[in-house]
Amino acid sequence: MKGGTRTDLAIKIGTLIERCREGRQSLIRNHELRPDFQLLASWQAGRLAWTHRDLLASERFGPPARYFFSDLYGDRDYSPRDEGMERVLPVMIRVMPSAALESIAMGLEIHALTQELDFKMIGTLRSEFGALSCLTAEQYARAYRLCDNAADRTRQILQISEIGRALDRVVRHKLVFNAVRLARRPAHLAGFGALHDFIERGFVAFRHMDGADEFLDTIERREMAVMRAILERVPVSEWAVPAESSGQEDQSGT
C-alpha cells in the first residue's frame, strides 16, 4: 500500500490482524495445532528443507534459510507471536514510520494467505482421503491441483520474496538494528518476548547474509518450479523428499 496515509495503514493492518486471527482459530484447537494441520505443516516443512537443503547447509545462507523455514513457515503454533502483535499494534501505529508499517502489512497479508491456503488444502485432503495418519507426495500433489488456486500460490511465493527484500533493506540501518537489540529486555518484561524474538531473529539472520538478492531469487525460482511440477504432473520423485516419493507419476484426477 505505497503512499497510503497512516490512518489507511492502521485500518489495513487492523483488518489483516482480524483475518489472521480467524485463520489461527481455524487451525488451532485447545492451544495446539489441529492434528491434520500438524501433519500438513510438518510435511510441507520437510519438503522445503529438502528443496533448499544446500541453502540450509550454507554458512552464508543457513541462518536466513532457517528463519524462513521455521519462523515464517513451520510446523508449530505461532499464537504467542501473533497475539503479541495484536497487543502492541496501537503503539506501533503511533511510533513507527510508514515504510515499516507497510512491511508489517505485507507480513500479515502473507501470513493470512498461508493460513487460508493450508485450511483449504486440509479440507481437500480430508474430502479426498479421509482421516490421514501420514501424508504422501502423491496425495499432496492431487489435493494441491484440486484446490485450483495457482494464482494465490503464485502470489504467496512472490510476496515472500517481497517481504524478504523489505527486511533486507531495513536491517542495513544500524540504528534500527541496535534499537531492536536494545529492546529485548523491555519487550520480554512487557510480555512481548515471542514477538520481539521473532523480529530479532530475522534481523540477525539477514544482517549475517549481507545481501539477500541471491538467496531470495533462489527460493522464488525453486518454489515456482515446484508449483509448476505439481500442476504439470511431473513425477514426485523429481520434486519431493526421496523417502516420501513412490517414484510413480500420479495418474488420478485433475
Q: Look up cell 511510533; give the residue.
A: 95
Q: What is the mean pLDDT of residues 222-235?
A: 98
Residue 29's SS3 state is strand
pLDDT of 112 over the 90 cut:
no
Nearest to 104 by CA among 117, 86, 118, 119: 86
How high is the mean pLDDT of the chain?
A: 82
| Pairwise CA distance, residues 170 & 166, whole Å | 6
Query: Is there a contact between 236 and 220 (Cβ–Cβ < 8 Å)?
Result: no
Most confident of 15-24, 66-75, 202-211: 202-211
| Pairwise CA distance, residues 200 & 202, whole Å | 5
Amino acid at 78: Y
Residue 242, Cβ density class (10 Å: 0-12 exposed, 13-18 middle, ≥19 buried): exposed
Instruction: Note the pLDDT of residue 190.
Output: 64
- For the entire predicted model, the pTM comes to 0.81
Instruction: Note the pLDDT of residue 254.
Output: 44
Q: How is 50-80 classified by DSSP, letter by letter?
A: HHTHHHHH-TTTHHHHHIIIIIIS-SS--HH
For 150, residues 6+ apart whose C-beta sits below 8 A from its C-beta are 227, 231
Instruction: Note the pLDDT of residue 78.
Output: 66
pLDDT digits (tens, 9 = 90+) for 17-41: 888 888 777 777 766 678 888 899 8
Instruction: Note the pLDDT of residue 4.
Output: 61
Measured over the CA atoms of residue 171, residue 176, residue 178 and residue 179, the dihedral's sign is negative
Query: Is there a contact between 49 and 65 (Cβ–Cβ < 8 Å)?
Result: no
Nearest to 70 by CA among 218, 245, 180, 205: 205
pLDDT of 76 over the 70 cut:
no
| Pairwise CA distance, residues 17 & 15, whole Å | 5
Pick 23 or 206 by higher pLDDT.
Answer: 206
Residue 28's SS3 state is strand
Pick 169 or 54 by higher pLDDT.
Answer: 54
